[in-house]
């Protein structure tokens, strides 16, 4: 499948303005949201999905598991043309499809409804299995979780299962802003590695490093990218 992203003319530098349409606060630049750079690089340079292929069976899937604080996600989807930029101003209002947690039945390009933590990675495992069972070996499945979301035990059920199941097309992006109260002694990547995944840890603000981590080969194994960003508090 070829790159099928509509060039809507938006660039990374425009995202702060798009987020401000939702938050109403102009000073909220890209740094205000931990997922923004990681999402932008993924949608801009890696994922093979766009407005014209949002329903195509062979598209890459991106599942936002950490549904809380979805402004960066909506801004990136709008910038890439999945829905009109005009939708952003209604964020959270009764008549808007854009809630404080995303709903896949309301927003084009949104693969799962999320908000309750710990659902995305098991759904991503099932998605990878479902694609494989239908002979769709090419599409990549990506899921974004947070370092505190990793507290939820359902993630660990999925992490332990995915490598033995040989889910090579599964990718987990962990946004690590050091918000888990009890932390992850030994590092987050080590959890994935111990379970048989390929894993790399990168600076979550460095676009080239993110791109290299996203596109690193990981034959026969699922792949985790831990993107470290500034501490939340």
Q: Which residues of this chain interact with another protein, rule CB under 8 A?
A: 57, 103-105, 111-113, 116, 118-119, 121-134, 136, 153-154, 157-158, 160-161, 165
CB of 67 to another protein, least distance (A): 11
Residue (111 or 176) nearer to another protein, CB = 111
CB of 162 to another protein, least distance (A): 10
β-strand partners of 141: 61, 170
CB of 109 to another protein, least distance (A): 14
| Residues making up the chain, counted from first to last | 233
Residue (25 or 106) nearer to another protein, CB = 106
Read off the DSSP letter of residue 198: E
CB of 224 to another protein, least distance (A): 17
Strands 198-203 and 170-176, by their bridges, are: unpaired
Q: Residue 55: helix, strand or coil by DSSP?
A: coil
Pair of tokens at residue 197: 């995944």
The arrangement of strands across the sheet holding 223-228 comes to 61-64, 141-146, 170-176, 223-228, 198-203
φ and ψ of 130, to 5 deg = -65, -40
Residue (19 or 121) nearer to another protein, CB = 121
Q: Residue 167: helix, strand or coil by DSSP?
A: coil
């Amino acid at each position: 499948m070829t790159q099928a992203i509509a060039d809507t003319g938006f660039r990374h530098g425009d995202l702060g303005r798009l987020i401000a349409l939702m938050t109403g606060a102009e000073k909220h630049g890209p740094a205000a949201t931990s997922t923004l750079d990681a999402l932008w690089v993924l949608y801009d340079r890696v994922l093979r999905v766009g407005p014209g292929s949002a329903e195509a069976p062979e598209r890459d899937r991106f599942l936002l598991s950490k549904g809380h604080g979805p402004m960066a996600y909506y801004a990136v989807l709008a910038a890439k043309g999945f829905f009109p930029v005009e939708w952003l101003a209604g964020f959270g209002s009764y008549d808007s499809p854009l809630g404080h947690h995303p709903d896949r039945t309301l927003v084009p390009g949104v693969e799962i409804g999320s908000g309750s933590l710990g659902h995305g990675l098991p759904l991503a495992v099932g998605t990878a299995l479902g694609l494989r069972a239908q002979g769709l070996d090419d599409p990549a499945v990506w899921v974004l979780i947070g370092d505190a979301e990793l507290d939820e035990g359902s993630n660990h059920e999925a992490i332990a299962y995915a490598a033995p199941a040989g889910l090579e097309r599964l990718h987990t992006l962990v946004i690590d802003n050091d918000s888990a109260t009890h932390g992850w002694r030994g590092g987050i990547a080590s959890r994935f590695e111990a379970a048989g995944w390929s894993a790399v840890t990168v600076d979550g603000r460095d676009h080239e490093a993110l791109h290299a981590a996203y596109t690193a080969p990981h034959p026969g194994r699922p792949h985790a990218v831990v993107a470290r960003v500034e501490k939340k508090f």
